[in-house]
Structure 1
Amino acid sequence: MSIIMKNVFWGVAMIAIFGACSTAPEKATQDHKHEKSQAIIEKANCVVHPTEGNDVNGTIAFEKTTDGVKVTADVAGLTPGKHGFHVHQYGDCSGPAGKTAGGHFNPEGKKHGAPDDMERHVGDLGNLVADSSGVASMTFTDSKLTLNGPNSIIGRSIIIHAGEDDLTSQPTGAAGARVACGVIGVAK
């Protein structure tokens, strides 16, 4: 092969190599563009299970509304009376006493309070009231809860306590032991 032919061969080879390198990243970027849209969560559900030594069970449903999040709780196995009811920080109910769920969900760093207080944890939901047969059913809308965004309750947990949340004691409302725990998940 003559020197001219070798130079032409290497020239064509270099153009092909550099041409491929210069267009490859652009092509790869175009081929791998993904839409980062996430579906807006409209509904969530939580099935609560008893902690060790308790018999509490039930469901709490959450539904996005124009006024906040509608909460519908149906729980059985409680002692008659009021029971503290909160969204807790972690979606972990693996511990026998429910302590793995962490403290109340409080992304704004507020003091504990009643559900209608301006100063309260996002997770402060007040009390469930069980009738003489140990069943508590209630529905309300909470303006602080969200199912989307950085303060979303999705993947966190619900804790139901043995006693009444006094709505003032810091930092938890003095509601006593955790009798039930459940993780909040996306619902269809």
Structure 2
Amino acid sequence: MKKNMLLYISMASVLLGACAIENPKKMEVDMKNETGDSLGKVILQEVAEGVEVDLDLEGLPPGEHGIHFHEKGVCKRPDFVTAGNHFNPDDKKHGLLHPEGAHAGDLPNIIVEDDGVAKVKLMAPIVTMTKGKTSLFTKDGTSLIITENKDDGMTQPSGDSGARIACGEIAKEKEKK
């Protein structure tokens, strides 16, 4: 009987461990600039309202900047075009202000202080970190991009927000323990 109980406990532990890897609820994303320097970390965490995006970055140009999830988890410097377009599994129009929007990857603009620091929490209500159409863990991964200008919330396809100045790759193996 004791052997069977130990076997069941061992099997349950393995299965629970596999589920945690399959559907991480929290992870850390290393954001890098166009020269490959680290700007800091972004913590993504699944919460009831969506995915909380907690930025702790420095070394960005001061001012207002767009920030979006992109459809591929590849941040090849210097222009990060390998990240693809905005994450848009529901084929919506771009922009938090657009009546036919928004992309799942559209996020509110961030403000970078004069010292280059951005410490802010955002909410991404359309995306998830669990399996499904709007999961950030796609076959190709996804990424988080910061742009040189603010997103105007309407202009197609990306809010007239300028060049990509920072990128972080999102993949299951980067899960924060």
Normalising by structure 2, report the TM-score: 0.77
2:71 pairs with one of 74, 89, 94 = 89
Contact 1:47 1:183 in 2 (8 A): yes
* Structure 1 runs, 4 residues or longer, greater than 3 Å off: 37-40, 115-118
Q: Which residue of 1 aligns with 2:51?
A: 69
2:89 pairs with one of 107, 126, 140 = 107
Contact 2:107 2:122 in 1 (8 A): no
In 1, the alpha carbon distance for the partners of 2:38 and 2:154 equals 25
Aligned CA distance change for structure 1 residues 162 and 56 (closer, same or farther; 3 Å) = farther
Shifted more, 118-127 versus 131-140: the winner is: 118-127
Normalising by structure 1, report the TM-score: 0.73
Asked if residue 146 in structure 1 is aligned to residue 132 in structure 2, the reply is no
Whichever of the two has the greater Rg, that structure is 1
Contact 1:115 1:126 in 2 (8 A): no
Q: Which structure 2 residues correspond to residues 1-188 of structure 1 after superposition, within 5 A?
A: 38-39=19-20, 40-52=23-35, 57-114=39-96, 119-150=101-132, 151-154=134-137, 155-184=141-170, 185-188=174-177
Shift of 1:95: 3.8
Shift of 1:142: 2.4
Structure 2: segments with no counterpart, 5+ residues:
1-14
Aligned-partner residue type, residue 38 of structure 1: C
In 2, the alpha carbon distance for the partners of 1:158 and 1:116 equals 21
Pairwise CA RMSD of aligned residues?
A: 2.2
In 1, the alpha carbon distance for the partners of 2:100 and 2:46 equals 21
In 1, the alpha carbon distance for the partners of 2:39 and 2:50 equals 25
Specify the SS of the correspondent of 2:82: helix
Shift of 1:110: 0.4
Shifted more, 141-150 versus 128-137: the winner is: 141-150
Shift of 1:47: 0.6
Contact 2:111 2:118 in 1 (8 A): yes
Contact 2:151 2:161 in 1 (8 A): yes
In 2, the alpha carbon distance for the partners of 1:92 and 1:115 equals 28
In 2, the alpha carbon distance for the partners of 1:159 and 1:181 equals 5
In 1, the alpha carbon distance for the partners of 2:25 and 2:103 equals 22
Shift of 1:119: 2.1
Q: How many residues align?
A: 152
Q: Report the identity percentage.
A: 38
Contact 1:115 1:125 in 2 (8 A): no
